Structure 1
Amino acid sequence: MFFIVLIILAAIGFVIQYLLGILQIKNFSKNYTDLRRNGRVTIGRRPSIFKAGTLVMIQINQKNIIEEARYMQGVTVFNKFKPLKGLEGINIKKMTDKDLNQKYNKLLVKAILDAQHTFNVVSNGGEIEKIPSPLMQVVNKVNRAFKKERSV
């Protein structure tokens, strides 16, 4: 009986997480559409399991000047996009981590620099490489460790 109740509670938890995830995706779509109406948008990301995951959307004009930026940072599905002040008027190609480290936390700086990297790659006609999910990063590390043991 205990296991049946436990399975039902786990199933309810998965359904709730799924529904809240859909709400978060709708929030992303709304914010992306708002920014996209006014110009090009580049997206930076820093996924994480135990630290706050970070997502940044930066809207730029035809001269590559940042007009508006928004970010979402946190570990739960309750996070929403917020305005990211302080980047307006900066040329996205000329941003450096030294400029950003004084204003923002490390995870946000990494996401902003990833957005800059994404912009540079796409501008030069390249494709963006997939960032493996945090779970896949752990799986890949374990696989590499086993491969090293076998080769020794």
Structure 2
Amino acid sequence: MIQLIILIILVWALQCVFTLFQLKYFNREYINLRKKGFVLIGKQRSRISRGCVILLLITRDGEILDGKVMNGYTVFTRFKTLAFVKNRNIMENWEDEKIDSVIKKALYNAQSNYIKELEMLNTQNIPA
């Protein structure tokens, strides 16, 4: 019984360590995009199925200049280029796209975040 408890603690500790590495990797990718301009983050979280995080480099008008997606089940997942979003507007309807539903939900989350950001700028009377 003690061996099982030790094994569970060890697996949990490894999960924490690998999560820290993934966060460090995410921050590095975010900072690299942030140096180029405004970055939107879209996410689709799930405890059981796979999750998805999207980083979109956009102009203030909503034109997407670059996109990256991290989509998978484990902490070993890495960012990949999201080529089909380049030179498109964040406010487009993504329903007709033949893409994974998890990526689609993350794109809609990024849209929602963009709308919230615009509303916040408008309430503070800051020009977009």
**TM-score, normalised via structure 2 length:** 0.89
Unmatched segments (≥5 aa) in structure 2:
122-128
Equivalent residue, structure 1, for 2:7: 9
Equivalent residue, structure 2, for 1:98: 95
Equivalent residue, structure 1, for 2:61: 63
SS in 2 for 1:68: strand
State which structure, 1 or 2, has the greater radius of gyration over its C-alpha atoms.
Answer: 1
* Equivalent of 2:109 in 94, 109, 114: 114
> Identical aligned pairs, as a percentage?
29
| Alpha-carbon contact 1:49-1:75 (below 8 Å) kept | no
Matches of 2:21 and 2:80 in 1, distance apart?
A: 15
What displacement does 1:81 show? 1.2
Matches of 1:97 and 1:85 in 2, distance apart?
A: 14
Residue 22 (str. 1) matches residue 17 (str. 2): no
* Equivalent of 1:39 in 37, 40, 46: 37
Per-residue CA deviation, residues 72-108 of structure 1 (Å, 9 max, x unaligned), is: 1111111111111111101213x10234x32x11110
SS in 1 for 2:47: coil
SS in 2 for 1:92: coil
What displacement does 1:62 show? 3.3
Matches of 1:88 and 1:73 in 2, distance apart?
A: 18
SS in 1 for 2:85: coil
| Alpha-carbon contact 1:56-1:72 (below 8 Å) kept | yes
Matches of 2:50 and 2:58 in 1, distance apart?
A: 26
Matches of 1:39 and 1:122 in 2, distance apart?
A: 15
Amino acid at match of 2:94: D
| Alpha-carbon contact 1:43-1:115 (below 8 Å) kept | yes
Question: Which structure carries more helix by proportion?
Answer: 1
- How many pairs align? 121
**TM-score, normalised via structure 1 length:** 0.75
Amino acid at match of 2:104: V
SS in 1 for 2:41: strand
What displacement does 1:120 show? 0.9
SS in 2 for 1:97: coil
Equivalent residue, structure 1, for 2:125: none
What displacement does 1:35 show? 0.7
